[in-house]
Amino acid sequence: MIETIKSILLDFQEASPETGVPRHLRIETIPGKAAVCIGVRRSGKSTYMFQVMKRLQSSGVPRESILYLNFFDDRLHNLGQQGLGSITEAYYSLYPEKKNAETIYCFFDEVQAVPGWEHFVDRLMRTEKCHVYLTGSSAQMLSKEIATQMRGRAVSWELFPFSFREFLDWKGVESTGPLSTKKRLLVQKSFEDYWETGGFPEVAGLGRDLRIRIHQEYFHAILFRDLVERHDVSHPKAVTDLAHWLVDNTASSYSVNSLTGYLKSLGHKAPKSAVSDYLEWFEDAYFLFTVRIFDASLARSNTNPKKVYCVDHALVTSVSSGILVNSGHLLENLAFAALRRLYPEVYYYKTKTGREVDFIVQTRNRARMLVQVCESLAKPQTRKREVTALSEAMTELKLKSGTIVTRSEDERIDAGGGTIQVVPMWRFLLDLPESTE
The predicted model gives 141-159 an average pLDDT of 75
pLDDT over 60 (residue 139)? no
Q: 272 CB contacts (<8 Å, ≥6 apart)?
A: 256, 257, 260
CATH class of 327-437: alpha beta
pTM > 0.85: yes
pLDDT, tens only, 206-219: 999 999 999 999 99
pLDDT of residue 415: 86
The topology under which CATH files domain 206-325 is Arc Repressor Mutant, subunit A (1.10.10)
pLDDT over 70 (residue 384)? yes
* Conformational region of residue 107, where left means phi above 0, alpha means psi within -120 to 50, and beta covers everything else: beta
pLDDT over 80 (residue 392)? yes
Domain with CATH 3.40.50.300 in the chain: 2-158
Amino acid at residue number 2: I
Mean pLDDT of the chain: 92
pLDDT, tens only, 90-116: 999 999 999 999 999 999 998 877 888
pLDDT over 60 (residue 391)? yes
pLDDT, tens only, 33-52: 999 998 999 999 999 999 99
Domain with CATH 1.10.10 in the chain: 206-325
pLDDT over 60 (residue 143)? no
Domain with CATH 3.40.91.50 in the chain: 327-437
Q: Which CATH superfamily is domain 2-158 in?
A: P-loop containing nucleotide triphosphate hydrolases (3.40.50.300)
